[in-house]
Amino acid sequence: MPAVSKGDGMRGLAVFISDIRNCKSKEAEIKRINKELANIRSKFKGDKALDGYSKKKYVCKLLFIFLLGHDIDFGHMEAVNLLSSNKYTEKQIGYLFISVLVNSNSDLIRLINNGIKNDLGSRNPTFMNLALHCIANVGSREMAEAFASDIPRILVAGDTMDSVKQSAALCLLRLNRTSPDLVPMGEWTARVVHLLNDQHLGVVTAATSLITTLAQKSPDDFKTSISLAIARLSRIVTSASIDLQDYTYYFVAAPWLSVKLLRLLQCYPPPEDAALRSRLTECLETILNKAQEPPKSKKVQHSNAKNAVLFEAISLIIHHDSEPTLLVRACNQLGQFLQHRETNLRYLALESMCTLASSEFSHEAVKTHIETVINALKTERDVSVRQRAVDLLYAMCDRSNAKQIVAEMLSYLETADYSIREEIVLKVAILAEKYAVDYTWYVDTILNLIRIAGDYVSEEVWYRVIQIVINRDDVQGYAAKTVFEALQAPACHENLVKVGGYILGEFGNLIAGDSRSSPLVQFNLLHSKFHLCSVPTRALLLSAYIKFINLFPEVKATIQDVLRSDSQLRNADVELQQRAVEYLRLSCIASTDILATVLEEMPPFPERESSILAKLKRKKGPGHLPDIDDARRNVNGSTEHSESTEATSKSSPSLMTDLLPTNRPRPASSSPIMLSAGTMSSSHPFTDLLNLNSTPSAGGSLLIDVFSDNSTPASMDVSEENFSRFVCKNNGVLYENQLLQIGLKSEYRQNLGRMYVFFGNKTSTQFLSFSSVVASQDTLKTQLNVQTKTVDPIIEGGAQVQQILNIECVSDFTDAPVLNIQFRYGGALQNIAVKLPVMLNKFFQPTEMTSQDFFQRWKQLGAPQQEVQKIFKAKHSMDTDVTKAKILGFGVALLDGVDPNPANFVGAGVIHTKSTQVGCLLRLEPNTQAEMYRLTLRTSRDSVSQRLCDLLSEQF
């Protein structure tokens, strides 16, 4: 910056500021300001032309008055005139006034743009910086139109000074954020990437911020930045602090630049080049190692800088989700922060571990910290940290620890902050349902939940427990006995009365044999709660009473007396009055057979989608994009989910068949009295007991028809970037650009599969006319049936919607369907085509075999056309645990002790299709010295052998 001369002190401004500060009252201040404004106005309108110094002084006074909160309606032209001055201080004040007071709709914008253009073309670095700063500060669309093509040229010009390059990069970043459609992509994009190699680290830092934003918009145009970013990051993390003295912050070399480079690398998948990938791994390992070293300073700035780089490195490790060793190390590193004295570090550690818990490689490592997390839940003083602890317990939960985690959450719920109680209730309900192998435990948990936090138990929770009890014959008697005992408490929450009324109305006969729970005792117990309940609950209880008349004829007279009482027949509420009249009349005129038919037991609910998790996601708010892994992932295709599903009867819904809300369908043959909309007013949410008067589901079959006959347009490029990553796993991010993120969660059983596709709007603008259809080639249509459910045509900014695909494997196949997405963003039509990761191995059922059975079957499949063998070079490190995880994720059972060579891997499974079943045996022989593999597959069908070999060999 040029030196400021002695005469630039602006003594008049200093005196004015002093006068303002000395004012004793607001009135005195306003009086002094009005006097000054009158003086300035007279000077500007006077006949005598003002020199540059005077203009600068008066404009500066106006700026100060504006900053005090007073309106300024003149002086703008004088500020614009200062832009033509050759003195730095005068030009600086002119730009400062314009940046603060001139809005984008001003009539002076054209004059301002001319002044800026002159300064940009002056080649004076000081003036160029002032102009660039003004463009960035105003950031109007008019300025973007005027200078969006000039600034990239300045940025990549060889003779531009470093300070100007920094300003140009940040100015272009600002314009890209405010008017992304006006920033042209041209030949400069390839040249701006090379700024990552610039010798000046300030330029590199500014360029990295710009490239990161542009890469999110057009990732393919900036792919070359990956190698340059890794090279620069490697030089930083391996350098000593003295090597980068100007950019070393409390003994940490260039922490801001390191964070930005790590963030840039998160825009892309792991590098395919082995050398580049190895170098990046070394960088990340070095960062993790440095975090373990003793601190070089006790000052908080040192630890803040070091931890900032560490957490960003961990974010990159989680994003890549491909290096098991790094993921486990990152988990252990975060575990050390869980008991750190710094609250922010504990918070960040819990938040990062939530994401790690969803990785198939690090989930077990996260679970080792369960006691520490539970202790944090009990002792942590900061409510936000306690909430993250709840989130982490929810994320790390699986079948092995579900009962412990649910018990701890219930225990904490009694003293939890009111702000997070509803969220904890939803999470407990989800976990109890998802991992309920013993349904008596599920019923006990939900009733305990209502007892502890009844006010926070939403309708979705008690609806769900009713549906599950109705669909499971083995738990109905226990549920009836449990709610009967719970209702005997002097004070019961109304939600418990609702559950009790419904369950006893349906299944009270299962416990009526005991004199302690005879029909009359049951009725008296329910009716003792009647007068304490709200109108909707009373309506539900009246429906339970009429059910009692059918179940227990001996209490018919008692119930009719209640229905006949004035408090019912003349009730002020029309809903209760109508129910009492109709039920009383029905009980008097209907024969026993008719009554039994009308009031028969509720049929099982058809397979449906629970809305509990939807409630949880809505609780998070629209700005929060829910992770697709909020529910525990089915790690590497393990049978964790299918086991719980197979435990249910065919008529019962899968316990976790949904992730987002849909309408609640009515049971296939609903009872007229319980659900008829014709005989009951719909003015209350409980008029049909569970408010299930929505469109019936499409029947019991998972698959109805192929949804779409559209094929992929020939002109559209189909994205296959992440396709191969899903061969051995069922969950993750399938596609991502600057607008949209597509995530998947899949589950398969025999020849049927269900895929949840999540569309996340990453912008703050609505997606309009959103559509998503699945297209298949003609041959594939006969081999694979895919039925899609329609998706909401509007996706709000920052929101996420879900689409469900039901899949049926008819016969073996090699191709994959394509997901075609179309929507409008900012008026422009967006088309995206993504290859869906539906492979033949997804329909594997693992088969356990003894050594003798294996080799006997191996010999039976000895025909040349039944065997496919492939020898290939290892693409990744030959880690035994990783190899086992990938084979399990492929879908086969890993057979230990079968192969004479313990280093070899042997597996067996059966491919299920609608038309046939194909047995498969595989053998993988690693040669660590030569870094080679030999893969042998034998199946009863040659096309299956070849396809499975191609899929699996690409994973090693």
Averaged pLDDT, 526-535 = 89
For residue 611, pLDDT over 80 is answered with no
Per-residue pLDDT band for 541 (boundaries 50, 70, 90) equals very high
d(CA 604, CA 466): 11
Averaged pLDDT, 619-637 = 40
| Phi then psi dihedrals of residue 369, to 5 deg | -100, 15
Q: Between residues 115 and 862, which one has the greater pLDDT? A: 115
d(CA 550, CA 553): 6
pTM of the shown model = 0.61
For residue 787, pLDDT over 90 is answered with no
pLDDT digits (tens, 9 = 90+) for 459-492: 888 888 888 888 888 888 999 999 999 898 888 8
Averaged pLDDT, 89-108 = 82
Per-residue pLDDT band for 629 (boundaries 50, 70, 90) equals very low
Query: Residues 115, 84: contact at Cβ < 8 Å?
Result: yes
Averaged pLDDT, 82-103 = 88
Averaged pLDDT, 352-358 = 88
Q: What is the pLDDT of residue 624?
A: 45
Q: Would you state the structure tokens that stand for residue 535, as one six-digit string? A: 């109108």
Which residues are registered as beta bridge partners of 805? 755, 788
Q: What is the pLDDT of residue 24?
A: 92
Q: What is the pLDDT of residue 418?
A: 83
Q: Would you state the structure tokens that stand for residue 754, as one six-digit string? A: 């269900």
d(CA 365, CA 332): 7
26 contacts: CB under 8 Å, gap ≥ 6? none
Q: What is the pLDDT of residue 130?
A: 93
| Phi then psi dihedrals of residue 775, to 5 deg | -120, 145
pLDDT digits (tens, 9 = 90+) for 165-174: 999 999 999 9
Which residues are registered as beta bridge partners of 939? 920
Q: Between residues 259 and 570, which one has the greater pLDDT? A: 259
Taking the alpha carbons at both ends of the chain, their separation in whole angstroms is 58
Q: What is the pLDDT of residue 674?
A: 37
Averaged pLDDT, 757-784 = 87
Per-residue pLDDT band for 670 (boundaries 50, 70, 90) equals very low
For residue 662, pLDDT over 70 is answered with no
Q: What is the pLDDT of residue 616?
A: 66
Q: What is the pLDDT of residue 257?
A: 92
| Phi then psi dihedrals of residue 524, to 5 deg | -60, -35
pLDDT digits (tens, 9 = 90+) for 795-807: 888 888 888 888 9
pLDDT digits (tens, 9 = 90+) for 830-882: 889 998 999 888 888 888 888 888 888 888 887 777 888 888 888 877 888 88
For residue 917, pLDDT over 80 is answered with yes
Mean of per-residue pLDDT scores for the chain: 81
What is the percent of the chain with per-residue pLDDT over 90, rounded to a whole number? 17
Q: Would you state the structure tokens that stand for residue 616, as one six-digit string? A: 């949880």
Per-residue pLDDT band for 618 (boundaries 50, 70, 90) equals low
- Of the candidates 913, 472, 398, which has an alpha carbon nearest to the alpha carbon of residue 654? 472
Per-residue pLDDT band for 687 (boundaries 50, 70, 90) equals very low
Sign of CA dihedral 240, 244, 247, 250: positive
d(CA 940, CA 929): 33
